[in-house]
Chains A and B, each alone.
Chain A
Protein backbone atom coordinates (compact mmCIF):
# COMPACT_ATOMS: atom_id res chain seq x y z
CA UNK A 1 0.00 0.00 0.00
CA UNK A 2 1.38 3.39 -0.91
CA UNK A 3 2.03 5.97 1.73
CA UNK A 4 -0.83 8.09 0.51
CA UNK A 5 -3.28 5.16 0.64
CA UNK A 6 -2.10 4.25 4.13
CA UNK A 7 -2.60 7.83 5.24
CA UNK A 8 -6.10 7.84 3.75
CA UNK A 9 -6.87 4.54 5.45
CA UNK A 10 -5.78 5.96 8.81
CA UNK A 11 -7.82 9.09 8.21
CA UNK A 12 -10.92 7.01 7.44
CA UNK A 13 -10.42 4.91 10.54
CA UNK A 14 -9.89 8.07 12.61
CA UNK A 15 -13.10 9.60 11.27
CA UNK A 16 -15.05 6.39 11.90
CA UNK A 17 -13.80 6.23 15.50
CA UNK A 18 -14.72 9.89 16.01
CA UNK A 19 -18.16 9.28 14.55
CA UNK A 20 -18.67 6.32 16.88
CA UNK A 21 -17.49 8.40 19.85
CA UNK A 22 -19.92 11.14 18.88
CA UNK A 23 -22.79 8.68 18.61
CA UNK A 24 -21.88 7.21 21.97
CA UNK A 25 -21.73 10.68 23.48
CA UNK A 26 -25.18 11.51 22.14
CA UNK A 27 -26.45 8.21 23.47
CA UNK A 28 -25.03 8.93 26.89
CA UNK A 29 -26.56 12.40 26.95
CA UNK A 30 -29.96 11.12 25.88
CA UNK A 31 -29.73 8.34 28.46
CA UNK A 32 -28.86 10.83 31.17
CA UNK A 33 -31.80 13.07 30.22
CA UNK A 34 -34.17 10.11 30.25
CA UNK A 35 -32.78 9.02 33.61
CA UNK A 36 -33.23 12.48 35.11
CA UNK A 37 -36.76 12.70 33.72
CA UNK A 38 -37.56 9.30 35.19
CA UNK A 39 -36.25 10.30 38.61
CA UNK A 40 -38.23 13.54 38.43
CA UNK A 41 -41.38 11.66 37.40
CA UNK A 42 -41.04 9.16 40.25
CA UNK A 43 -40.33 11.81 42.88
CA UNK A 44 -43.23 13.99 41.68
CA UNK A 45 -45.59 11.04 41.67
CA UNK A 46 -44.44 10.04 45.16
CA UNK A 47 -44.99 13.59 46.36
CA UNK A 48 -48.53 13.60 44.99
CA UNK A 49 -49.30 10.21 46.49
CA UNK A 50 -47.92 11.26 49.88
CA UNK A 51 -50.17 14.31 49.81
CA UNK A 52 -53.11 12.03 49.03
CA UNK A 53 -52.20 9.89 52.03
CA UNK A 54 -52.11 13.00 54.24
CA UNK A 55 -55.52 13.99 52.91
CA UNK A 56 -56.89 10.54 53.81
CA UNK A 57 -55.35 10.95 57.26
CA UNK A 58 -57.04 14.35 57.61
CA UNK A 59 -60.36 12.84 56.47
CA UNK A 60 -60.07 10.26 59.21
CA UNK A 61 -59.46 13.09 61.69
CA UNK A 62 -62.67 14.79 60.48
CA UNK A 63 -64.59 11.53 60.85
CA UNK A 64 -63.33 11.04 64.39
CA UNK A 65 -64.33 14.60 65.31
CA UNK A 66 -67.76 14.24 63.69
CA UNK A 67 -68.37 10.96 65.49
CA UNK A 68 -67.31 12.45 68.83
CA UNK A 69 -69.57 15.43 68.22
CA UNK A 70 -72.50 13.15 67.42
CA UNK A 71 -71.86 11.10 70.59
CA UNK A 72 -71.77 14.21 72.78
CA UNK A 73 -74.94 15.54 71.14
CA UNK A 74 -76.66 12.20 71.81
CA UNK A 75 -75.69 12.43 75.48
CA UNK A 76 -76.99 16.01 75.62
CA UNK A 77 -80.31 14.87 74.17
CA UNK A 78 -80.46 12.10 76.78
CA UNK A 79 -79.95 14.63 79.57
CA UNK A 80 -82.42 17.07 78.00
CA UNK A 81 -85.06 14.33 77.83
CA UNK A 82 -85.32 14.40 81.63
CA UNK A 83 -86.41 18.03 81.48
CA UNK A 84 -88.33 18.22 78.22
CA UNK A 85 -90.56 15.38 77.12
CA UNK A 86 -89.65 14.09 73.70
CA UNK A 87 -92.05 12.10 71.67
CA UNK A 88 -89.13 10.94 69.68
CA UNK A 89 -85.50 11.98 69.40
CA UNK A 90 -86.06 13.87 66.17
CA UNK A 91 -83.29 16.25 66.88
CA UNK A 92 -80.67 13.81 65.70
CA UNK A 93 -82.77 11.89 63.24
CA UNK A 94 -81.50 13.70 60.18
CA UNK A 95 -77.88 13.19 61.08
CA UNK A 96 -76.62 9.95 59.66
CA UNK A 97 -72.95 9.19 59.92
CA UNK A 98 -71.57 6.31 57.90
CA UNK A 99 -68.20 5.35 56.54
CA UNK A 100 -67.22 6.40 53.04
CA UNK A 101 -69.21 9.63 52.99
CA UNK A 102 -68.23 12.28 50.46
CA UNK A 103 -67.06 15.68 51.65
CA UNK A 104 -70.41 17.19 50.69
CA UNK A 105 -72.20 14.66 52.90
CA UNK A 106 -69.81 15.36 55.72
CA UNK A 107 -70.46 19.08 55.28
CA UNK A 108 -74.20 18.45 55.56
CA UNK A 109 -73.79 16.25 58.63
CA UNK A 110 -71.62 18.91 60.28
CA UNK A 111 -74.15 21.64 59.52
CA UNK A 112 -76.96 19.47 60.88
CA UNK A 113 -75.03 18.90 64.10
CA UNK A 114 -74.33 22.62 64.42
CA UNK A 115 -78.06 23.28 64.11
CA UNK A 116 -78.81 20.52 66.63
CA UNK A 117 -76.36 22.02 69.13
CA UNK A 118 -77.99 25.44 68.68
CA UNK A 119 -81.44 23.95 69.26
CA UNK A 120 -80.24 22.24 72.44
CA UNK A 121 -78.69 25.44 73.74
CA UNK A 122 -81.92 27.28 72.95
CA UNK A 123 -83.80 24.60 74.87
CA UNK A 124 -81.44 25.05 77.83
CA UNK A 125 -82.20 28.80 77.81
CA UNK A 126 -85.90 28.01 78.19
CA UNK A 127 -85.37 25.38 80.87
CA UNK A 128 -83.14 26.86 83.63
CA UNK A 129 -83.03 23.54 85.47
CA UNK A 130 -81.55 21.93 82.41
CA UNK A 131 -79.11 24.82 82.09
CA UNK A 132 -78.03 24.34 85.70
CA UNK A 133 -77.60 20.60 85.35
CA UNK A 134 -73.91 19.76 85.90
CA UNK A 135 -73.88 16.96 83.32
CA UNK A 136 -75.43 19.18 80.68
CA UNK A 137 -72.97 21.96 81.44
CA UNK A 138 -70.00 19.58 81.10
CA UNK A 139 -71.40 18.29 77.84
CA UNK A 140 -71.69 21.87 76.56
CA UNK A 141 -68.00 22.34 77.34
CA UNK A 142 -67.21 19.00 75.69
CA UNK A 143 -69.09 20.09 72.57
CA UNK A 144 -66.96 23.25 72.39
CA UNK A 145 -63.77 21.20 72.63
CA UNK A 146 -65.01 18.73 70.00
CA UNK A 147 -65.88 21.61 67.71
CA UNK A 148 -62.36 22.98 68.09
CA UNK A 149 -61.04 19.53 67.16
CA UNK A 150 -63.37 19.49 64.16
CA UNK A 151 -62.15 22.92 63.08
CA UNK A 152 -58.57 21.71 63.43
CA UNK A 153 -59.25 18.58 61.39
CA UNK A 154 -61.09 20.67 58.77
CA UNK A 155 -58.21 23.14 58.47
CA UNK A 156 -55.67 20.30 58.25
CA UNK A 157 -57.74 18.66 55.50
CA UNK A 158 -58.22 21.90 53.58
CA UNK A 159 -54.53 22.74 53.88
CA UNK A 160 -53.52 19.40 52.34
CA UNK A 161 -56.23 19.61 49.69
CA UNK A 162 -55.06 23.09 48.78
CA UNK A 163 -51.49 21.80 48.49
CA UNK A 164 -52.58 18.89 46.27
CA UNK A 165 -54.78 21.02 44.05
CA UNK A 166 -52.06 23.61 43.61
CA UNK A 167 -49.61 20.90 42.59
CA UNK A 168 -52.09 19.34 40.15
CA UNK A 169 -52.83 22.60 38.32
CA UNK A 170 -49.15 23.60 38.09
CA UNK A 171 -47.00 22.68 35.13
CA UNK A 172 -45.14 20.28 34.83
CA UNK A 173 -46.64 18.41 37.82
CA UNK A 174 -49.97 18.47 35.98
CA UNK A 175 -48.48 16.10 33.40
CA UNK A 176 -47.59 13.54 36.06
CA UNK A 177 -50.98 13.96 37.76
CA UNK A 178 -52.75 13.46 34.46
CA UNK A 179 -50.75 10.35 33.63
CA UNK A 180 -51.35 8.87 37.10
CA UNK A 181 -55.04 9.80 37.15
CA UNK A 182 -54.74 11.99 40.24
CA UNK A 183 -57.53 14.56 40.36
CA UNK A 184 -58.37 17.54 42.52
CA UNK A 185 -60.16 17.00 45.84
CA UNK A 186 -63.09 18.96 47.20
CA UNK A 187 -62.72 21.21 50.23
CA UNK A 188 -64.55 20.75 53.49
CA UNK A 189 -66.49 23.97 53.81
CA UNK A 190 -68.71 24.72 56.80
CA UNK A 191 -71.30 26.94 55.18
CA UNK A 192 -74.21 28.56 56.98
CA UNK A 193 -76.67 27.87 54.24
CA UNK A 194 -78.92 25.27 52.62
CA UNK A 195 -80.51 23.46 55.48
CA UNK A 196 -83.73 22.90 53.58
CA UNK A 197 -83.10 19.21 53.17
CA UNK A 198 -82.12 18.69 56.83
CA UNK A 199 -84.99 17.81 59.11
CA UNK A 200 -84.20 19.07 62.61
CA UNK A 201 -86.92 19.76 65.12
CA UNK A 202 -87.66 19.25 68.76
CA UNK A 203 -90.94 17.84 69.84
CA UNK A 204 -91.70 18.80 73.38
Chain B
Protein backbone atom coordinates (compact mmCIF):
# COMPACT_ATOMS: atom_id res chain seq x y z
CA UNK B 1 0.00 0.00 0.00
CA UNK B 2 1.40 3.41 -0.94
CA UNK B 3 2.07 5.95 1.78
CA UNK B 4 0.86 9.53 1.67
CA UNK B 5 3.21 11.72 -0.42
CA UNK B 6 5.32 14.19 1.59
CA UNK B 7 4.33 17.63 0.33
CA UNK B 8 0.61 18.32 0.53
CA UNK B 9 -1.18 19.60 -2.56
CA UNK B 10 -3.55 22.53 -2.47
CA UNK B 11 -6.62 20.38 -2.92
CA UNK B 12 -9.35 21.60 -0.65
CA UNK B 13 -7.71 24.86 0.45
CA UNK B 14 -10.27 27.06 2.17
CA UNK B 15 -11.57 29.98 0.12
CA UNK B 16 -14.56 32.30 0.63
CA UNK B 17 -16.60 31.04 -2.34
CA UNK B 18 -15.82 27.40 -1.80
CA UNK B 19 -18.95 26.47 0.13
CA UNK B 20 -21.49 27.57 -2.52
CA UNK B 21 -19.51 26.00 -5.37
CA UNK B 22 -18.91 23.00 -3.19
CA UNK B 23 -22.62 22.45 -2.63
CA UNK B 24 -23.40 22.77 -6.34
CA UNK B 25 -20.67 20.30 -7.23
CA UNK B 26 -21.82 18.01 -4.47
CA UNK B 27 -25.40 17.90 -5.75
CA UNK B 28 -24.26 17.21 -9.32
CA UNK B 29 -21.96 14.45 -8.21
CA UNK B 30 -24.58 13.06 -5.86
CA UNK B 31 -26.84 12.29 -8.79
CA UNK B 32 -24.06 10.15 -10.24
CA UNK B 33 -23.55 8.42 -6.90
CA UNK B 34 -27.25 7.55 -6.67
CA UNK B 35 -27.22 6.21 -10.22
CA UNK B 36 -24.22 4.05 -9.41
CA UNK B 37 -25.89 2.72 -6.29
CA UNK B 38 -28.95 1.75 -8.34
CA UNK B 39 -26.69 0.06 -10.85
CA UNK B 40 -24.90 -1.86 -8.07
CA UNK B 41 -28.23 -2.96 -6.57
CA UNK B 42 -29.39 -4.15 -9.97
CA UNK B 43 -26.24 -6.14 -10.59
CA UNK B 44 -26.47 -7.64 -7.12
CA UNK B 45 -30.07 -8.69 -7.70
CA UNK B 46 -29.30 -10.21 -11.11
CA UNK B 47 -26.24 -11.97 -9.74
CA UNK B 48 -28.25 -13.49 -6.87
CA UNK B 49 -31.03 -14.62 -9.22
CA UNK B 50 -28.57 -16.14 -11.66
CA UNK B 51 -26.68 -17.86 -8.85
CA UNK B 52 -29.81 -19.42 -7.33
CA UNK B 53 -31.32 -20.26 -10.71
CA UNK B 54 -28.02 -21.54 -11.99
CA UNK B 55 -27.62 -23.77 -8.96
CA UNK B 56 -31.07 -25.30 -9.35
CA UNK B 57 -30.70 -25.81 -13.09
CA UNK B 58 -27.10 -26.87 -12.81
CA UNK B 59 -27.74 -29.49 -10.19
CA UNK B 60 -30.68 -30.87 -12.14
CA UNK B 61 -28.78 -30.86 -15.41
CA UNK B 62 -25.66 -32.27 -13.83
CA UNK B 63 -27.68 -35.08 -12.32
CA UNK B 64 -29.77 -35.90 -15.36
CA UNK B 65 -27.69 -34.84 -18.37
CA UNK B 66 -24.05 -34.02 -17.80
CA UNK B 67 -22.06 -33.10 -14.66
CA UNK B 68 -20.19 -30.32 -16.50
CA UNK B 69 -23.46 -28.46 -17.04
CA UNK B 70 -23.31 -27.33 -13.39
CA UNK B 71 -20.13 -25.43 -14.15
CA UNK B 72 -21.61 -24.01 -17.34
CA UNK B 73 -24.72 -22.90 -15.48
CA UNK B 74 -22.62 -20.95 -13.00
CA UNK B 75 -20.65 -19.04 -15.64
CA UNK B 76 -23.27 -16.31 -16.24
CA UNK B 77 -23.63 -15.84 -12.48
CA UNK B 78 -19.87 -15.58 -12.11
CA UNK B 79 -19.71 -13.00 -14.86
CA UNK B 80 -22.43 -10.88 -13.29
CA UNK B 81 -20.76 -11.11 -9.87
CA UNK B 82 -17.55 -9.85 -11.44
CA UNK B 83 -19.45 -6.94 -13.01
CA UNK B 84 -21.12 -6.31 -9.65
CA UNK B 85 -17.76 -5.95 -7.87
CA UNK B 86 -16.52 -3.68 -10.62
CA UNK B 87 -19.60 -1.49 -10.26
CA UNK B 88 -19.29 -1.59 -6.49
CA UNK B 89 -15.72 -0.35 -6.69
CA UNK B 90 -16.77 2.53 -8.95
CA UNK B 91 -19.70 3.35 -6.66
CA UNK B 92 -17.47 3.39 -3.57
CA UNK B 93 -14.93 5.66 -5.27
CA UNK B 94 -17.62 8.04 -6.44
CA UNK B 95 -19.32 8.06 -3.03
CA UNK B 96 -16.10 8.69 -1.14
CA UNK B 97 -14.95 11.44 -3.50
CA UNK B 98 -18.25 13.27 -3.15
CA UNK B 99 -19.08 12.67 0.50
CA UNK B 100 -15.66 12.95 2.11
CA UNK B 101 -14.63 16.03 0.14
CA UNK B 102 -17.95 17.69 0.89
CA UNK B 103 -17.60 16.87 4.57
CA UNK B 104 -14.00 18.08 4.75
CA UNK B 105 -14.75 21.34 2.93
CA UNK B 106 -14.12 24.26 5.28
CA UNK B 107 -12.99 22.10 8.18
CA UNK B 108 -9.23 22.28 7.74
CA UNK B 109 -6.56 24.72 6.59
CA UNK B 110 -5.70 22.29 3.84
CA UNK B 111 -6.33 18.62 3.29
CA UNK B 112 -5.68 15.78 0.90
CA UNK B 113 -7.95 12.74 0.57
CA UNK B 114 -6.77 9.43 -0.85
CA UNK B 115 -9.45 6.72 -0.66
CA UNK B 116 -7.30 3.67 -1.39
CA UNK B 117 -4.31 4.60 0.75
CA UNK B 118 -3.76 4.28 4.46
CA UNK B 119 -0.96 3.84 6.94
CA UNK B 120 1.50 1.16 5.96
CA UNK B 121 1.81 -1.71 8.39
CA UNK B 122 5.52 -0.89 8.71
CA UNK B 123 4.65 2.61 9.95
CA UNK B 124 2.38 1.18 12.62
CA UNK B 125 4.96 -1.43 13.54
CA UNK B 126 7.59 1.29 13.89
CA UNK B 127 5.54 3.07 16.52
CA UNK B 128 5.75 -0.06 18.65
CA UNK B 129 2.27 0.69 20.00
CA UNK B 130 0.14 -1.99 18.40
CA UNK B 131 0.14 -5.74 17.96
CA UNK B 132 -0.04 -6.53 14.27
CA UNK B 133 -1.82 -9.70 13.29
CA UNK B 134 -1.67 -11.47 9.96
CA UNK B 135 -4.49 -9.39 8.47
CA UNK B 136 -3.90 -5.70 7.88
CA UNK B 137 -5.91 -3.18 5.89
CA UNK B 138 -5.85 0.59 5.95
CA UNK B 139 -7.53 3.08 3.62
CA UNK B 140 -9.32 6.43 3.39
CA UNK B 141 -6.43 8.67 4.29
CA UNK B 142 -7.20 12.27 5.05
CA UNK B 143 -4.04 14.27 5.63
CA UNK B 144 -3.53 17.98 6.05
CA UNK B 145 -3.20 20.74 8.58
CA UNK B 146 -5.67 22.16 11.04
CA UNK B 147 -4.75 25.32 12.95
CA UNK B 148 -1.21 24.77 11.72
CA UNK B 149 -1.07 21.24 13.18
CA UNK B 150 -0.05 18.54 10.76
CA UNK B 151 -2.41 15.55 10.92
CA UNK B 152 -3.14 12.31 9.15
CA UNK B 153 -5.98 9.81 9.66
CA UNK B 154 -6.99 6.56 8.07
CA UNK B 155 -9.40 3.72 8.67
CA UNK B 156 -7.69 0.61 9.92
CA UNK B 157 -8.43 -3.08 10.32
CA UNK B 158 -5.94 -5.32 12.11
CA UNK B 159 -6.81 -8.92 12.90
CA UNK B 160 -5.31 -12.30 13.50
CA UNK B 161 -6.67 -15.33 11.71
CA UNK B 162 -6.12 -18.42 13.81
CA UNK B 163 -6.32 -21.67 11.96
CA UNK B 164 -7.55 -24.64 13.93
CA UNK B 165 -7.59 -28.14 12.52
CA UNK B 166 -11.12 -28.00 11.14
CA UNK B 167 -11.44 -24.33 10.34
CA UNK B 168 -10.41 -21.13 11.99
CA UNK B 169 -11.49 -17.94 13.66
CA UNK B 170 -10.50 -14.30 13.52
CA UNK B 171 -9.50 -12.13 16.45
CA UNK B 172 -10.02 -8.47 15.67
CA UNK B 173 -7.28 -6.36 17.21
CA UNK B 174 -8.42 -3.00 15.87
CA UNK B 175 -11.33 -1.93 13.72
CA UNK B 176 -11.63 1.81 13.61
CA UNK B 177 -9.42 4.81 13.01
CA UNK B 178 -5.75 5.65 13.43
CA UNK B 179 -4.83 9.32 13.73
CA UNK B 180 -1.39 10.86 13.86
CA UNK B 181 -0.53 14.46 14.81
CA UNK B 182 2.63 16.51 15.08
CA UNK B 183 3.03 17.16 18.80
CA UNK B 184 3.88 20.55 20.22
CA UNK B 185 6.56 19.36 22.65
CA UNK B 186 9.87 17.68 21.93
CA UNK B 187 10.42 14.34 23.60
CA UNK B 188 12.73 11.39 23.27
CA UNK B 189 11.13 8.43 25.04
CA UNK B 190 7.81 6.69 24.40
CA UNK B 191 4.62 7.04 26.36
CA UNK B 192 1.59 4.81 25.87
CA UNK B 193 -1.83 5.36 27.44
CA UNK B 194 -4.85 3.17 26.82
CA UNK B 195 -8.29 2.57 28.20
CA UNK B 196 -8.67 -0.57 30.24
CA UNK B 197 -10.66 -2.31 27.51
CA UNK B 198 -8.05 -1.84 24.78
CA UNK B 199 -6.49 -5.29 24.75
CA UNK B 200 -4.21 -5.69 21.76
CA UNK B 201 -1.65 -2.98 22.19
CA UNK B 202 2.05 -3.74 22.21
CA UNK B 203 3.11 -2.83 25.71
CA UNK B 204 6.81 -3.70 25.30
CA UNK B 205 7.09 -4.74 28.89
CA UNK B 206 8.55 -8.20 28.37
CA UNK B 207 12.05 -8.71 29.69
CA UNK B 208 13.08 -11.37 27.23
CA UNK B 209 11.74 -10.22 23.87
CA UNK B 210 12.11 -6.47 24.18
CA UNK B 211 15.36 -4.54 23.93
CA UNK B 212 16.29 -2.83 27.19
CA UNK B 213 16.25 0.67 25.63
CA UNK B 214 12.76 0.07 24.17
CA UNK B 215 11.23 -1.50 27.27
CA UNK B 216 8.33 0.27 28.94
CA UNK B 217 7.03 -0.04 32.46
CA UNK B 218 3.69 0.83 33.94
CA UNK B 219 3.19 3.83 36.20
CA UNK B 220 0.38 5.61 37.99
CA UNK B 221 -0.39 9.28 38.09
CA UNK B 222 -1.68 11.39 40.97
CA UNK B 223 -5.16 11.52 39.39
CA UNK B 224 -7.16 8.59 40.81
CA UNK B 225 -9.94 8.85 38.25
CA UNK B 226 -7.40 8.82 35.44
CA UNK B 227 -5.68 5.75 36.91
CA UNK B 228 -9.03 3.96 37.10
CA UNK B 229 -9.81 4.71 33.45
CA UNK B 230 -6.42 4.33 31.81
CA UNK B 231 -3.36 2.12 31.88
CA UNK B 232 -0.06 3.98 31.32
CA UNK B 233 3.30 2.64 30.19
CA UNK B 234 6.44 4.67 29.65
CA UNK B 235 10.18 4.42 29.19
CA UNK B 236 11.09 7.34 31.49
CA UNK B 237 8.86 8.56 34.31
CA UNK B 238 10.00 12.19 34.30
CA UNK B 239 9.36 12.61 30.58
CA UNK B 240 6.04 10.79 30.88
CA UNK B 241 4.91 13.28 33.53
CA UNK B 242 6.26 16.13 31.37
CA UNK B 243 3.93 15.02 28.57
CA UNK B 244 1.05 13.89 30.73
CA UNK B 245 0.27 17.15 32.50
CA UNK B 246 -2.84 17.45 34.69
CA UNK B 247 -4.56 19.32 31.86
CA UNK B 248 -3.78 16.58 29.33
CA UNK B 249 -5.15 13.99 31.76
CA UNK B 250 -8.38 15.95 32.17
CA UNK B 251 -8.69 16.28 28.40
CA UNK B 252 -8.12 12.56 27.86
CA UNK B 253 -10.92 11.82 30.32
CA UNK B 254 -13.14 14.17 28.30
CA UNK B 255 -12.15 12.44 25.08
CA UNK B 256 -13.00 9.08 26.60
CA UNK B 257 -16.57 10.20 27.13
CA UNK B 258 -16.59 11.87 23.69
CA UNK B 259 -15.42 8.78 21.81
CA UNK B 260 -17.57 6.31 23.72
CA UNK B 261 -15.25 3.41 22.87
CA UNK B 262 -11.83 2.05 23.77
CA UNK B 263 -8.79 3.84 22.45
CA UNK B 264 -5.07 4.12 22.83
CA UNK B 265 -2.83 7.19 22.81
CA UNK B 266 0.85 6.97 21.98
CA UNK B 267 3.60 9.55 22.13
CA UNK B 268 6.35 8.29 19.83
CA UNK B 269 9.10 10.21 18.03
CA UNK B 270 7.55 13.65 18.49
CA UNK B 271 4.20 12.50 17.13
CA UNK B 272 0.94 11.85 18.91
CA UNK B 273 -0.98 8.77 17.80
CA UNK B 274 -4.57 7.84 18.51
CA UNK B 275 -5.95 4.37 17.82
CA UNK B 276 -9.72 4.43 18.24
CA UNK B 277 -11.33 1.01 18.31
CA UNK B 278 -14.82 2.09 17.26
CA UNK B 279 -15.70 -1.28 15.67
CA UNK B 280 -16.71 0.41 12.40
CA UNK B 281 -15.15 0.93 9.01
CA UNK B 282 -16.01 4.56 8.46
CA UNK B 283 -16.42 6.26 5.07
CA UNK B 284 -17.99 3.11 3.59
CA UNK B 285 -21.13 3.62 1.51
CA UNK B 286 -24.37 1.72 2.13
CA UNK B 287 -25.02 -0.70 -0.72
CA UNK B 288 -28.62 -1.68 -0.09
CA UNK B 289 -29.62 1.00 2.42
CA UNK B 290 -31.14 4.36 1.53
CA UNK B 291 -28.82 7.12 0.45
CA UNK B 292 -29.31 10.57 1.85
CA UNK B 293 -26.78 13.23 0.97
CA UNK B 294 -27.14 15.19 4.20
CA UNK B 295 -26.97 12.10 6.37
CA UNK B 296 -23.90 10.70 4.63
CA UNK B 297 -22.06 14.01 4.73
CA UNK B 298 -22.95 14.44 8.39
CA UNK B 299 -21.67 10.91 9.09
CA UNK B 300 -18.35 11.68 7.38
CA UNK B 301 -18.14 15.06 9.07
CA UNK B 302 -18.61 13.46 12.48
CA UNK B 303 -15.71 11.16 11.75
CA UNK B 304 -13.46 13.98 10.51
CA UNK B 305 -14.44 16.09 13.49
CA UNK B 306 -12.33 13.73 15.62
CA UNK B 307 -9.31 15.53 14.18
CA UNK B 308 -10.50 18.98 15.20
CA UNK B 309 -11.71 17.74 18.58
CA UNK B 310 -8.33 16.24 19.41
CA UNK B 311 -6.39 19.31 18.25
CA UNK B 312 -8.69 21.71 20.12
CA UNK B 313 -9.00 19.64 23.29
CA UNK B 314 -5.27 19.01 23.67
CA UNK B 315 -4.22 22.52 22.43
CA UNK B 316 -1.91 21.00 19.85
CA UNK B 317 -1.81 24.33 18.03
CA UNK B 318 -0.03 25.89 21.02
CA UNK B 319 3.48 25.80 19.58
CA UNK B 320 5.36 27.58 22.37
CA UNK B 321 7.77 24.80 23.21
CA UNK B 322 8.47 23.74 19.64
CA UNK B 323 9.52 27.34 18.84
By a beta-carbon cutoff of 8 Å, the part of chain A in contact with chain B is: 54, 57-58, 61-62, 65, 138, 141, 144-145, 148-149, 151-153, 155-160, 162-163
Q: Which of B220, B237, B321 has the most CB of A within 10 A?
A: B237
14 contacts between A and B (CB under 8 A): A54-B237, A61-B236, A141-B321, A141-B323, A144-B321, A145-B320, A148-B245, A152-B238, A152-B243, A159-B219, A159-B220, A159-B237, A159-B241, A163-B220
Also in contact, A145 and B321, with CB within 8 A (given A54-B237, A151-B242, A152-B239): yes
Which chain B residues border A138 with CB–CB below 8 Å? 323
Which chain B residues lie closer than 8 Å to A153 at the CB level?
A: 238, 241-242
Query: CB-CB < 8 A to A158: which residues of B?
Result: 222
CB distance from B218 to the nearest CB of A (A): 12
User: 3 nearest interchain CB pairs?
Assistant: A152-B242, A61-B238, A152-B241
Measured between alpha carbons, how far is A163 from B220 in the docked complex, in Å? 9
Instruction: Name which residue of chain B comes closest to A152, CB basis.
Output: B242
Interface centre among B222, B238, B320 (most CB of A within 10 A): B238
Contact with A along B253-275 (1 / 0, CB 8 A): 00000000000000000000000
Contact B245 A156 (CB under 8 A): no
Q: Is there an interface contact between A156 and B241, defined as CB atoms closer than 8 Å?
A: yes
In terms of DSSP, what is the predominant structure of the interface of chain A?
Answer: helix
Query: Is B221 at the interface (CB under 8 A from chain A)?
Result: yes
A138 to B322, CA, bound (A): 11
Give the nearest-CB partner of A154 in chain B: B241
B225 to chain A, nearest CB (A): 15
Q: Verify if B99 is at the interface (C-beta below 8 Å from A).
A: no
Q: How far is the CA of A152 from the CA of B243 in the complex (A)?
A: 8
Q: Is the CB of A156 within 8 A of B240?
A: yes
Chain B residues with Cβ below 8 Å from A162 are 222
Q: How far is the CA of A157 from the CA of B239 in the complex (A)?
A: 11
The answer to whether A159 touches B243 (Cβ under 8 A) is no
**Bound Cα distance from A138 to B323, whole angstroms:** 8
- Known contacts: A61-B237, A61-B238, A159-B219. The answer to whether A151 contacts B323 by CB under 8 A is no
Write the nearest CB–CB distance from A132 to chain B, whole angstroms: 16
Cβ A148 vs Cβ B323 within 8 A: no
Residues of A with C-beta under 8 A to B238: 57-58, 61-62, 65, 149, 152-153, 156-157
Q: Whole-angstrom distance from the CB of B115 to the nearest CB of chain A?
A: 40
CB of B270, distance to nearest CB on chain A (Å): 14
Report whether B237 and A156 are in contact in the complex, using a CB–CB cutoff of 8 Å: yes
Say how far A71's CB is from chain B's closest CB, in angstroms: 17
Query: Given known contacts A141-B323, A144-B321, A159-B221, is B237 in contact with A149 (CB within 8 Å)?
Result: no
Which residues on B sit within 8 Å (CB–CB) of A57? 237-238
Q: A58-B237, A61-B237, A160-B237 are in contact. Are A149 and B242 (CB under 8 A)?
A: yes
Contact with A along B211-233 (1 / 0, CB 8 A): 00000000111100000000000
Taking the closest CB of chain A, its distance from the CB of B219, in whole angstroms, is: 7
Report chain B residues within 8 Å CB of A160: 237
Note all chain B residues with C-beta closer than 8 A to A65. Answer: 238
How long is the Cα–Cα vector from A34 to B255 in the complex, in angstroms?
Answer: 50
* Interface pair A148/B220, CB less than 8 Å apart: no
Cβ-defined contact, B222 with A159, below 8 A: yes
Q: B219 contacts which chain A residues (CB < 8 A)?
A: 159
Least CB distance, B226 to chain A, in whole angstroms? 12
In the complex, the answer to whether B321 meets A155 with C-beta atoms within 8 Å is no
- In the bound complex, how far is the Cα of B322 from the Cα of A144, in angstroms? 11
Given A152-B241, A162-B222; 6 other pairs, CB 8 A cutoff: A61-B238, A145-B321, A149-B238, A152-B242, A156-B238, A160-B237
Q: In the assembled complex, which residues on chain A have CB atoms less than 8 Å from the CB atom of B243? A: 152
Interface residues of B in 267-323 (CB under 8 A from A): 320-321, 323
A160 to B222, CA, bound (A): 10
**Closest-CB distance, B106 to chain A (whole angstroms):** 32
